Amino acid sequence: MNNKKILITTGIYPPQIGGPAQYAKNLKEALEKIGYTVRVKTYGTENKLPTGIRHLFFFFKIFFQVAKSEVVFILDTFSVGWPTILACKIFGKKGIIRTGGDFLWEEYVERTGKKVLLRNFYNTEIPYFSLKERIIFKLTRWALKNTSKIIFSTNWQRGIFIKGYGLKKENTCIVENYYGPKESDNDFESKTFIASTRNLVWKNLDVLKGIFERIKLGHPEIALFTDNLPYGQFMDKIRGSYAVILASIGDISPNMITDAIRLNRPFICTKEVGIYERIKDAGIFVNPLNEKEIEEAVLNLLTEDGYKEAKAKVRNFNFTHTWDEIVHEFLEVAEKIK
């Protein structure tokens, strides 16, 4: 690309906590490392505004930044997705959406309290959408169909979205998430299971907490840690933990699990996960809707043999996918857009 100006739009960015924030930060730094001028635009005041108004506010906020950029990498489908694509269409710029989670599914599960699996969501729930959800669905579909290209991190989510939103497969591609080299292999400091996440219905924390309350009756030494910490502190917490556990009813590329792998922590993960094919030999996988199965997995991990086996599994995983490789793949996608 001749004009080395790139814009990244993202719903969250450090010091905010979360996988998408870290992704945006690392993508920016990797692009700058090879000579690109990168601007990041994220939500600020918009967070205090109602849906719709916040999107229009963000549209005007990024309007002239889009005009000055050769390509725009958009790190979600709705919050910054459709206002950014609208601006890209006006200026004839390359707008590339990189999907994260599924905002609409998350909103629906939170509103209804219904634990519908992500892979079933678009097959069964569209008739039950509220007016707001119908609008989100239509705007998301418009953004996905009008973007220059859609980058998914997993083939699993790509399949769900192609069917759910009526997308053309040839307008999509896969760029896997970051898998870093191993950083440590510490002994556990306490029998603490890390389950830090937002307290949302789809995260299934209510089930997890109930399971641990029962297990603690026979194993008072165990603890379940669910607080959110700044990234550096969070990594330190994982480093000394007994294991990591994620029992959500749908996750695409959970950073907590890939962080656990880098630090050689045994992990229990939901089967409803986009990266299953990549990490299936590295951990223990459970049906998030089966409490007995989750409980048995935790109890097995508390045995000497179970822990030794889980530790060997995670140690044997050595696949890496660096930020330099990710940036190269992003730029390759942009170069191929006519």
- Sorted by where each begins, the domain ranges of the chain are 5-178+321-336, 192-315
Q: Check residue 20 and give its pLDDT.
A: 85
Q: State the pLDDT at residue 89.
A: 96
CATH number of 192-315: 3.40.50.2000
In terms of Cβ atoms closer than 10 Å to its own Cβ (0-12, 13-18, 19+), residue 226 is: middle
Average pLDDT, the chain: 95
Specify the 3-state DSSP secondary structure of 253: coil
| pTM of the shown model | 0.93
| Cβ atoms < 10 Å from Cβ of 141 | 18
For the chain, how many helices (H) and strands (E)? 14, 11
**Token duo for residue 336:** 């191929």
SS3 percent helix, strand, coil of the chain, rounded to 5, is 50, 15, 35
The gap from C-alpha 178 to its chain's centroid, in whole angstroms, comes to 11
Per the CB < 8 A criterion, the answer to whether 207 and 247 are in contact is yes
Q: 244 forms bridges with which residues in the sheet? A: 194, 267
What is the residue type of 320?
T
pLDDT for the residue numbered 213: 97
Task: Say what the alpha-carbon torsion angle 248, 315, 313, 225 is, to the nearest 10 degrees.
Answer: -30
Predicted pLDDT at 3: 58
At residue 299's C-alpha, the angle toward residues 295 and 303, to 5°, is 165
5-178+321-336 with 192-315: one CATH topology?
yes
Q: Following DSSP, what letter does each residue of 122-185 receive, concatenated?
A: HHHSGGG--HHHHHHHHHHHHHHHHSSEEEES-HHHHHHHHHHHT--GGGEEE-PPPBPPP---
Query: Which pLDDT score is estimated for 1?
Result: 54
Fold adopted by 5-178+321-336: Rossmann fold (3.40.50)
Q: Are 165 and 143 in contact (CB under 8 A)?
A: no
Ranges in the chain, pLDDT < 70? 1-3
